Amino acid sequence: MSRSDANDPEMNELAAEFGSMMNLLREGPHDVRPETPSANLWESIRSEVQADSVVPASEGKVVSLDDARQRSWGRRGAILTAVAAAILLVGVPLGLAARSGNESTDVLLAAGELGALDSGSASAADLYDTEGNLWLDLETDRSAGADAFLELWLLDVAEDGSVRDLISLGEVDGSGAYDIPDDIDVARFAVVDISVEPDDGNPEHSGDSVVRGGLS
């Protein structure tokens, strides 16, 4: 029994309820020394997790993702539509008045931070609409190793994290603008992903994603 227990009726009462835990607490802060893991440790975890979950085909679980962000897309789609309407009503006339000639107007619809899935750096992708043509402004310093290339994808992710569908936006050649085909619904294909693809002629997603993030 500690000194305070003897002098403090309140402590006696608590001891009846929290007894052994209170004794552990009195031993003071723990003496486990945090240890910075090596980069290898994360790579081992990552490859074990991916080997377990990746079926690199469109019907398989290529990746699993944040469903919370996905769920909010329905609502966000409606907001985007409203914003787009407002832009048409207000922005276009203003834009036309402010700008001379037929210079195009880029409207930022969404921003995406692409977090690193390996130990490398993050990237970013902003979604723009230029007179109805959608495109991504990609910022990345990633490059593929020998006998491989980087490929940019848009994923349609289900609530349970499985990938319902995916489309390729082609090979990544550093930062720049990447067009999105006209018939793609970005409210559905709302996750940007970059994968390392071996030069093996297989057009399917390798399952080896390096950065990924939702457009929001």
Partner 1 sequence: MTLTATFPSATLRMPVMHARYIRPVPASLEQRFVAGDELALKEAFDEHGPLVLGLCRRVVGNDAEDLAQQVFVAAWKSRHRFDPSKGSLKSWMAGIARFKSIDHVRAAGRRPSTGGGEAADFGEMQADAERVTDRMVLTEALSGLSGDRRRVVELAFYGDLTHAEISEQLAMPLGTVKSHVRRGLETLRSELEASREQI
Site string for partner 1, 62-101 (x = CB under 8 A): -xxxxxxx--x---x--xx--x---x---x---x------
Q: Which residues contact 116 (CB under 8 A, 6 or more apart)?
A: 122, 210, 211
Q: Is 22 in the site for partner 1 (CB under 8 A)?
A: yes
Q: How many residues bind partner 1 (CB under 8 A)?
A: 84
Which amino acid is it at 111? Answer: A
Q: In this structure, what token pair is assigned to residue 86?
A: 């407002």
Q: Is 56 in the site for partner 1 (CB under 8 A)?
A: no
Q: Is 206 in the site for partner 1 (CB under 8 A)?
A: no
Q: In whole angstroms, what separates CA 154 from the centre of its chain?
A: 11
Q: Is 172 in the site for partner 1 (CB under 8 A)?
A: yes
Burial class for 120, CB neighbours closer than 10 Å (0-12, 13-18, 19+) = middle
Q: What minimum distance in Å lies between the beta carbon of 210 and partner 1?
A: 11
By CB under 8 A, name the one of 55, 58, 60, 128 that touches partner 1.
128
User: Residue 194 forms beta bridges with which residues?
Assistant: 152, 211
- The stretch among 140-148, 164-172, 194-202 that binds partner 1 (CB under 8 A) is 164-172
Q: In whole angstroms, what separates CA 121 from the centre of its chain?
A: 13
* Region 98-127 residues binding partner 1, contact defined as CB under 8 A: 104-111, 115-117, 126
Q: In this structure, what token pair is assigned to residue 211?
A: 């950065």
